[in-house]
Amino acid sequence: MRLKDKVAIVTGGADGIGAAYCRGFANEGAKIVIADAKLESAQQALEEYKRKGVEALGIQMDVSNVNDTLELAKKTVDRFGRIDILVNNAALMRVAKISRNVPFYELDLNEWDRAMAVNVKGPFLCARAVFPYMREQGGGKIINISSGNFFRGGGSVKYPHYVASKGAVIGLTRALARELGEYNINVNCICPGYVLTNWGTDPYRIEFGKIEAAKRCLKRDEYPKDLIGTAIFLACSDSDFITGQTIVVDGGEVML
């Protein structure tokens, strides 16, 4: 088991892609902290892990709230004694509705601010909260989640606030990798493609998934399980000399 006894925080970890990261880490022996804005979903996920004998903690929080992020780190250390892995997965798009195909000059400025608060400020605050503990223990792994949409400029769908926020995540990844390397903290980024999750089962999303699949080298749908291996690799010792990198996991639609 590559993550035996490691402690992993996954924001937005109650369902969808976040839940896939949690399950993958748990299968590799990690202790899991499910940090999610939706308390009921977090509790349901927590019960699943308890039934399987996985040590897990569920915490309701808002990643854009500084006090919530500090409490997340403190509660994790109070329960498990350390923080080895942080996955900044929570984002404003599919869990909370985000405007699409609105001309940028008509976009609600409050929605722009909220997207930046969750998608950019959130990873910054969470990294800031776990840093003292990782520094004290001699290292850690931070995995940020961006999106292939950044490289496509949003593609056929207009949502400039989302695209801009996900580009900022890549910039934040590189800046933190430079700053935290001296503390043996690796900071890397995963860019998923269009992923079919439990949020995307309506006919429109399925049809859109087919359109996206046709653009890939590997012409099939992408599912949360397709991201687990990359996340485990970046979380375990196999990637100890890799930092500041962005890995696109989309079947070959975007090539860096």
In a domain, 228, yes or no: yes
CATH for 48: 3.40.50.720
Domain that holds residue 204: 7-248
224 is a domain residue: yes
* Structure confidence by residue, pLDDT tens digits, 122-150: 999 999 999 999 999 999 999 999 999 89
Q: Is 144 within a domain?
A: yes
| Both tokens assigned to 239 | 């990637």
Q: Name the pLDDT band for 95 (thresholds 50, 70, 90).
A: very low
256 within some domain: no
User: Tens digits of per-residue pLDDT, 51-81?
Assistant: 989 999 999 999 999 999 999 999 999 999 9
Report how many domains make up the chain: 1
In this structure, is residue 134 part of a structural domain? yes
Contact residues for 207 (Cβ-Cβ < 8 A; gap 6+): none
Model pTM?
0.94
Sheet with 185-192, strands from edge to edge, namely 56-60, 31-36, 7-11, 85-88, 140-145, 185-192, 246-249
- Let me know if residue 100 belongs to a domain: yes
Catalytic residue among 21, 49, 162, 194: 162
Per-residue pLDDT for 202 more than 90?
no
d(CA 225, CA 15) in angstroms, rounded, equals 12
List, for residues 210-222, the tens digit of each pLDDT value: 888 999 999 999 9
183 as an active site residue: the answer is: no
Identify the pLDDT of residue 20: 96
Residue 192 lies in a domain: yes
Is residue 160, in this structure, part of any structural domain at all? yes
One-letter-per-residue 3-state SS of 91-113: CCCCCCCCCCCCCHHHCCHHHHH
